[in-house]
Amino acid sequence: MKKAIVLLFTILFFAGCVGQKKAVDSSIKVEYKAYSRGFYQTVRVENQMVFISKNREEKPVAFKLSAAEWNSLILVVNELNLETLSQMKAPTEKRLFDGAANASFKITKQGKVYESQSFDHGYPPAETEKIVNKMLSFVK
């Protein structure tokens, strides 16, 4: 009887630990923002939900991601070195003369915010290209 109780408590303990890992993964928030004088777009992903806004005054349109899409996004975020995100250089500078919209990218993971420097919309730094393209694919 004692062995059964110890076994039960052990299973419950490890089941609780697995639930905590999922809570950490769901605490990731990814935001992409692009704007110019005549253009505005934000894409925010958190808790398997995508919020898209194409106008500063409008309420964002929301939809739910599938588990596979959410997991692939989490994998791409985890591949990225978040500590160097703010130091990544933009490959082009069209935004400086109105040749492209100004874009930025922000990831909040476990309460810590990592933000990129500005770059041209559609031309992210090579290190963030996968995740930015994935974010923009939700808009289409």
Q: Is residue 103 included in any domain, yes or no?
A: yes
Is 4 inside any structural domain? no
Domain annotation covers residue 127: yes
Classify residue 40: in a domain, yes or no: yes
Task: Measure Cα distances from 120 to 36, 67, 74, 77, 139 in Å.
Answer: 10, 30, 24, 20, 17
Q: How many domains are there within the chain? A: 1
User: Do the domain assignments include residue 91?
Assistant: yes
In this prediction the pTM is 0.76
Q: What is the dihedral of CA 64, 68, 73, 79, to 10 degrees?
A: 160
pLDDT for the residue numbered 18: 55
Give the domain range for residue 38: 27-137
Lowest-confidence region among 9-23, 28-42, 91-105: 9-23
Question: What is the rounded distance in angstroms from the CA atom of residue 20 to the CA atom of residue 123?
Answer: 36
What type of residue sits at position 60? P
Instruction: Give the Cα separation of 88 and 121 in Å (integer).
Output: 15
CB 32 within 8 A of CB 135: yes
Residue 8 in any domain: the answer is no
Per the domain annotation, does 22 fall within a domain? Answer: no
What are 69-121's pLDDT values in tens digits? 999 999 999 999 999 988 888 888 888 787 889 999 999 999 999 999 999 99
